[in-house]
Amino acid sequence: MKKLYLILGIMFLCVLVYSQIGYAEDEVLVREPTTVGQEYVPGEIIVKFKPGVGEDVIAKLNSRHNCGVLRISRFAGFRKLRISREKTVSEMVQLYKKDPNVEYVEPNYIAYAFWIPNDQYYPLQWNMNGGINAEKAWDITWGDPSVIVAVIDTGVAYEDYTQTVKRKTIRYYRAPDLVQTNFVAGYDFVNDDTHPNDDNGHGTHVTGTVAQSTNNSIGVAGVAFNCKIMPLKVLDKSGSGTYADVADAIMWAADNGVKVINLSLGGSSPSTTLENALAYAYNKGVTIVCAAGNNGQPTLSYPAAYDAYCIAVGATRYDGTRSYYSNYGSSLDLVAPGGDLTVDQNSDGYADGILQQTFGNTYNDWGYWFYQGTSMAAPHVSGVAALLISHGTATTPDEVRMALQSTAKDLGDSDFDPEYGWGRVDAYAALAWAPGPDTTPPVLSNGKPTGSIKNNTPTLSVTTNESATCKGSIKVDKDYDLMDFAFTPNVAGTSHTYPTTALTDGQYTVYVKAIDSANNVTKTSYTFSFTVDTIAPDQVMGVKVTTVSSSALNISWENNTAVDLDHYNIYRSTLSAFIPGPGNLVGSSTVSSYSDKNLSPATTYYYIVTAVDKAGNEGPASAKALGTTLGKKKTNSGR
């Protein structure tokens, strides 16, 4: 039977059909896959000599090149040689090629077993191998447990748990085909507790595509099944939820070590709350994958439409064409198998949906369900992103995006088109991606003098969008190495400041150049007018002295209204007729009070306070104020 969910606001993005398939829970031992990496054995070559070449000739040639025989093939007669450590394999191949006695020479190339999971219904998962080229990818990596994928959805059937709500006992169960899947602690933002169990089925299905327990002889496979899953529940039993909960879950995931977030949900309206949460996670290095939406319209749902932070994923059918329901448009980045339940293009006897385990009418009514939707497409991309990060192919959200987009199988028009984005994700090709040389220069802000201006030396400030080193010149543009001064960067190398030397009145042009770690240089310039500040703050008013003890007095005054006030100077004397100067300056304060300590007992002190601005201009002396410490003066006694 088919079930169609149309949910307003935030909704999960799938339609589904249910087909009950049995399963067996057989325990098997799992062997790690061979890592595909080296093309040939280091330090070895294979040489076949021409028929009739004598052993003495062969021995002399091998000795001349400092090579030793490891093995002679009993079947083909070739020789496996250990080469000199002073030569590379390619160098030694060229040396032997030049000898007329050699029939052929080549590296000792490495072959790898192509691994296919033994899950019972894996043959029905057309989406894995024919869809995203998963089998060749699994010969490289199954994912790493250090990489966590957050599934923000209806929850996940990840635990056996009993809960009592309003005297009603509710039992949740761990999906049998998620028993070997690794989970980390998540959160239920709908019910505000630490048990994000699935009461709908959607989140469990999505999780299966990312990391279903694989090669366990039952059920089906997941893309990155050695990675860990963080279940975060933001959609309720009906499949709907709020932007507020989604935003909180995104930020919670970013703060708790997640590398990839899967959002198989969406709404029709933009939201500052949602966009800010996405920006927060993206800036913390999280790759965010979102379903494009199921309206078949040329606009994407939110959050997928926030292209600056998200990888938006549409859906394709078995034949690689766009699924009829899949949204499309200029913000679409990739497509992945999402299914089409109206056809059976591969003639396997089932509608062409995406098969994963989830529950039916009750929380332990387990079966394998064919779903369709961009909700089903997105976790394919999330799984591949997790594989890339696990393998070290890509480490940042931008690198993950570039790896996925530049290696995708082109569909539709050449390169990008609005129906397929950059194409259908290819797991194996993405793992083979390597970043090209960095030729993009840093972006410089067009700043102006900012911050404190002391002694008429404005602080120049610029920012860069990446870590860089900045230099500058005033009035005359110069080559980077010849510029007059270097800016001081912050720890991240993105905020740069320089306090100028004392300036006179006039207009100044600052030339700034920035260079990044790849030696890409960019430049900017800006002009500002500067007038020497010679206006001192007004006189400080309302100075009062309060006795504290025999050795301390407190001085207070009214706040000065100077907008560029820097601090107050406090002067003291035991003489009533004194003029403030360096000899009687006792301290300074940035607030309108000062505690004067270590004074003599029973002594009267006179105080003057002045205001000083950021340019170093000192205002007129305040009216004198006096105070007397407690106690008695010491007197000399005679006999």
The rounded distance, in Å, linking the Cα atoms of 359 and 157 is 9
The rounded distance, in Å, linking the Cα atoms of 298 and 132 is 24
- Encode 445-484: b = buried (16+ Cβ within 10 Å), e = exposed: bebebeeebeebbbebbbbbebebbbbbbbeeeeeeeebe
Phi and psi at 401, nearest 5°, equal -60, -45
Task: Clarify whether 380 is annotated catalytic.
Answer: no
Of 139, 153, 177, 516, which is the active-site residue? 153
Instruction: Spell out the long-range contacts of 414-418 with Cβ–Cβ below 8 A and sequence spacing 24 or more.
Output: 418/298, 418/328, 418/329, 418/330, 418/332
**Cα separation values, 558 from 451, 507, 539, 591, Å:** 25, 37, 10, 10
Q: Which residues pair with 565 in a beta bridge?
A: 613
Token code pair at residue 157:
């059937």
Of 65, 202, 391, 496, which is the active-site residue? 202
The rounded distance, in Å, linking the Cα atoms of 575 and 624 is 11
Of 213, 326, 331, 375, which is the active-site residue? 375
Q: Is 68 exposed, middle or buried (0-12, 13-18, 19+ CB in 10 A)?
A: exposed
The rounded distance, in Å, linking the Cα atoms of 157 and 179 is 10
> How many other CB atoms are there within 10 angstroms of residue 370's CB atom?
22
Residues 312, 333: contact at Cβ < 8 Å? yes
> Looking at residue 560, what DSSP letter applies?
P
Token code pair at residue 195:
């048990």
Give the residue ranges of DSSP H helices in 237-373.
243-254, 272-283
Phi and psi at 502, nearest 5°, equal -55, 130
Token code pair at residue 229:
């899953």
Token code pair at residue 81:
């040689």
Q: How distant is the alpha carbon of residue 60 from its chain centre?
A: 58
636: CB partners within 8 A, 6+ apart: none
How is 346-395 classified by DSSP, letter by letter? T-SSS-B-EEEEEE-SSTT-EEEEEEESHHHHHHHHHHHHHHHHHHTS--
- Residue 192 region by backbone torsions, left for phi larger than 0, else alpha for psi between -120 and 50, else beta: left
For the chain, the distance separating the N- and C-terminal CA atoms, rounded to the nearest angstrom, is 120
Task: Clarify whether 153 is annotated catalytic.
Answer: yes
Task: Clarify whether 56 is annotated catalytic.
Answer: no
Question: Active-site residues: which are they?
Answer: 153, 202, 375
